[in-house]
Amino acid sequence: MNNGRKISGGKYHKQKKKKLYENKSQERTVLLGETKRKQLRARGGNVRTLLLKANIVNLLIDGKLKKTEIKNVIETPQNKFLARQNRLLKGAIIETGLGKARITNRPTREGQVNATLVK
Q: What is the pLDDT of residue 26?
A: 84
Cα–Cα distance for residue pair 7/113, rounded to 1 Å:
52
Domain ranges of the chain: 27-117
Q: Tell me, which fold does domain 27-117 have in CATH?
A: 3.10.290
Four-CA torsion 6, 7, 8, 13, nearest 10 degrees: 0
- 56-111: per-residue pLDDT in tens? 999 999 999 999 999 999 999 999 999 999 999 999 999 999 999 999 999 988 89
Are β-strands 87-88 and 64-75 bridged in parallel, bridged antiparallel, or unpaired? unpaired
φ and ψ of 43, to 5 deg:
-65, 140
Q: What is the pTM of this model?
A: 0.78
